[in-house]
Chains A and B, each alone.
Chain A
């Protein structure tokens, strides 16, 4: 383990029943890196995110966040410790307004049992953080709209605004481009780039190869629950093992 790794996985494995879902994953991610995770369907990409964010506990190995062993920590503690994520399906609360969604993300940090009855006025700290985050993704004028009525691309932007409001050290994006109309891709790419600015570490599962290759510093390739290669996009694309994994499974 090196000092500057903000996230590190040591020999992480997951078995469910007899099935090997993840096997001996070792990965060190330095502060500020943007890492793309690719691989065929069923390779274990989302499971890897679930292990990192705490949705699933690995059966072997250690997950460290900023040097701290968080392998046994529940989801909400990892989130407070600086881990934010989106889900493949929408992470929004459709019954709340856009501002309420983002406010919820912001108020986790203003927590404390004493503030049960504190009224969330427009002027309080969490709401200010939320409005700033919405401004960053260009949605401040939609603050009072219901989340359910947003266009798909706008929903993705609100999810990213929620991450900005949480201000995590490490962000996991699970297919941020899924279901996004091709016209919206450049705008969301720009928003992801903004999320990365200021030294935030970003991990992204994405099938949209152009987006991945255009954004990331390194690519991690997964296949059958194993980490096949972790390298720069150019090196990974030239890697024969990666090519055979993809071509061998091409449909």
Chain B
């Protein structure tokens, strides 16, 4: 008898705890509704990757593809498979190789700038390009690098050499993509590391000075170890988007001349799906890349957890 009342008490307590905070659930409602409608509903819509989707029949009404992996196989067998995967991996890996360490190096450098005013100006200026839109950024590239009329054309004209058309060269695409990204975002990406460095206990530097450490040694033994946890998290996040190279910039930089080097998964998904209206095929390609990403993220996270004790979850 007593036991039973205790039990209902606990249950009633749970409901009472939920009821007491009804306001919080109300606050959660708008975001949750949008999330379910526009993020989770499309996840269910992924089913069309395995169906012969016809808009009039709807997702459930459309027949299953035969075999169910028909569109995945179609992608694996298509001549675009190798190109898009290779381009995506080449650009993201190159980008990672450059865009991961450079902000760290920059932060270490900024931390050495002892003149407050100069440091502030430096930071303000290097963050600025981050606010330029992708469209304007690519527009800038086309304007400045066009061989006929741009800054590059003018410089080459002065040197008396013929200006190369970088925008039309497949081999130049990845360099243009990555280094314009560096120009635009390296300052901004360094903020997180500068923040981490600003929390270094000054007594560590004092102790190092007493021991006769040079500035370089202080960077090596005080600053860098301080940045490791942040850096590892950033690296894991980058691995998690290895296959999802952003659409916006690549698509804008694409032209018929450089297409062999610039067709990546996201632009191909767009063309197949939105332009050619092959919904099921496009969804299948997209799903393939999302799943690979997800697996990579989990894998890298587990490895990092074992090796360095840093992990996303």
Instruction: Judge: A and B partners, yes or no.
Output: no
**Interface residues of A, Cβ cutoff 8 Å to B:** none
Where the two chains meet, the residues of B that have a C-beta atom closer than 8 Å to any C-beta of A are none
